[in-house]
Amino acid sequence: MQFTAEQISEFLDGIIVGESSVKVGELAKIEHGCEGSLCFLSNPKYESYLYTTKASIVIVSSDFLPTQPVSCTLIKVKDPYSAFSVLLEKYNEALNPDNTQVGINQPCFIHSSAKIGKNVFIGAFCSIDENVEIGDNCRIYTQVYIGSGTKIASDSTIYAGVKIYNRSVIGSRVTIHSNAVIGSDGFGFAPQPDGTYHKIAQIGNVVIEDDVEIGSNTTIDRATMGSTFIRKGAKLDNLIQIAHNVDIGAHTVVAAQTGISGSTKLGDNSVIGGQVGIAGHLNLAKGTQIGAQAGINFNTEENKQWHGSPAQPLKEWMRSTVIFKKLPEVDKRISTLEAKVAELTAMIEKTATRQD
C-alpha cells in the first residue's frame, strides 16, 4: 500500500516542503533510506544523512532549516519522533493482519465460569481458569495460562507463553510480551534453627494498571500480603525481576536486567537504566534517574540522578570516573616513590652504620 506526501501530511497535521504527490510504501532509517521509503530526522547528529538519503519523504521538525540542498520531500511536524512512531504503529498493523482476527482457536481450555468480552481473540493451547474475566477487544495469543479470578480489562494484548497467576488484575491497553510471568511467588523464606528455610505463603496478588507494557521474560512476583503494583503508563523492558510488594510509579521506565527487591517503591516518572540493582524497603522519589549497573541501597530525593555502585550523585560520579582512569598512572607513581623511599632509607641506614 502506498501513500502520497499529501495524505501523510494530512494525517500528521504537517506542512509539506517539496513534491506533494510523491509516494512511499515502506518505512526506513534515514541512513538506509531508498526510493519509495519514508524516514524521519529528530536527532541533529543524523542531519548529514538528510543530504545524501535516497528516501522519498523525510519527516522533520517544524523549525528545521536545511543547510544544504535536499532532494527529498520534507514534511514538517511539531515532534518528528512521535509522528514517526504513529506511522510505525499503523505500518505494523498492516504487516500483521492477524492482529485483527477474533474468535477462539482450538484446542483451548476455557472454564465455563470465565467471562469473555466482545471481539476477543484467543490463540490455540491457552488455558483460562475459573472466574477469569477478559474485557472487550483483548488478544490472548497461543499457550497463555490465566489463573483463576484474574481480571483483564479491555484492549489488552497478552503474547504467546505468558503465565498469569491467580487473582491478578490487569488494566486496559496493557501489553505483556512472550514468556513473562505475572504473580509468581514472592521470594520469602524464614530461616530455621536447624539451618533450613521455611517457605512463607504469598497470599497477595499483582495489580497492573492501564497503559503498561511489560517485556519478554520479565517476572513480577505477587505480594506476600496486599498487592504488587505496576502503576499507569509504566514501561518495563525484557528480563526484569520485580519482587513482592514492589510499587512501580506511574510512567516509570525500567530497562533490561534490573532487579528490584521486595517492598521498594519507585516514584512516578522515574528512569531506571539496565542492570540496576535496588535493595528492598526503599523509597525512590518521583523523577529519580539511575544509570546502568548502579547499585541503590538508600532512599533518594526527587529528580536526582545517580550512577555507579555504590551509587553516587551524577556530578560526584563523573569526578570519580576521572580519578578511576588515572589509577594505573597513580599506581606507577606510587611504585616509583616507594622504590626511591626504599633507596633513601637504605642510604640513611648505611650512613648511620658507618658513623657508629
Check residue 56 and give its pLDDT: 96
32 is catalytic: no
Q: Taking phi first (over 0 means left), then psi (-120 to 50 degrees means alpha), and beta for anything else, what does residue 224 get?
A: alpha
Confidence of residue 232 (pLDDT cuts 50, 70, 90): very high
Q: Which of 244, 251, 281, 307 is catalytic?
A: 244
Whether the pLDDT of residue 242 is over 90: the answer is yes
Q: pLDDT of 26-76, one tens digit each?
A: 999 999 999 999 999 999 999 999 999 999 999 999 999 999 999 999 999
Whether the pLDDT of residue 100 is over 80: the answer is no
Distance CA 242, CA 181 (A): 10
Whether the pLDDT of residue 314 is over 80: the answer is no
Burial of 198 (0-12, 13-18, 19+ CB in 10 A): exposed
Contacts of 38 (CB under 8 A, 6+ apart): 8, 24, 26, 27, 28, 55, 56, 57, 58, 59, 87
Same domain, 170 and 274: yes
What proportion of the chain, given as a percentage, has pLDDT over 70? 99
Same domain, 305 and 231: yes
Bridge partners of residue 146, in order along the sequence: 128, 164
Check residue 70 and give its pLDDT: 95
Same domain, 165 and 280: yes
Check residue 97 and give its pLDDT: 63
Question: Domain containing 155 — which CATH number?
Answer: 2.160.10.10
Q: Choose the final residue of a domain: 50, 69, 95.
A: 95
- What CA dihedral angle connects 54, 57, 63 and 64, to 10 degrees? 0
Check residue 293 and give its pLDDT: 95
Same domain, 224 and 182: yes
Average pLDDT of every residue of the chain: 93
Bridge partners of residue 74, in order along the sequence: 17, 58
| Average pLDDT rounded to a whole number, residues 208-235 | 98
Domain with 120, as residue range(s), is 103-313
CA atoms within 13 A on the CB side of 323: 6
Whether the pLDDT of residue 96 is over 80: the answer is no
Whether the pLDDT of residue 191 is over 80: the answer is yes
| pTM tops 0.95 | no
| Average pLDDT rounded to a whole number, residues 260-271 | 98
> What's the structural domain count of the chain?
2
Confidence of residue 98 (pLDDT cuts 50, 70, 90): low
Confidence of residue 321 (pLDDT cuts 50, 70, 90): confident
Check residue 356 and give its pLDDT: 63
Sign of CA dihedral 82, 83, 86, 87: negative
Nearest-CA neighbor of 8 among 59, 62, 49, 46?
59
Distance CA 202, CA 204 (A): 6
Distance CA 170, CA 288 (A): 25
Q: Choose the final residue of a domain: 67, 95, 123.
A: 95
Q: Give CA separation, 345 vs 331, 335, 340, 349, in Å.
A: 21, 15, 8, 6
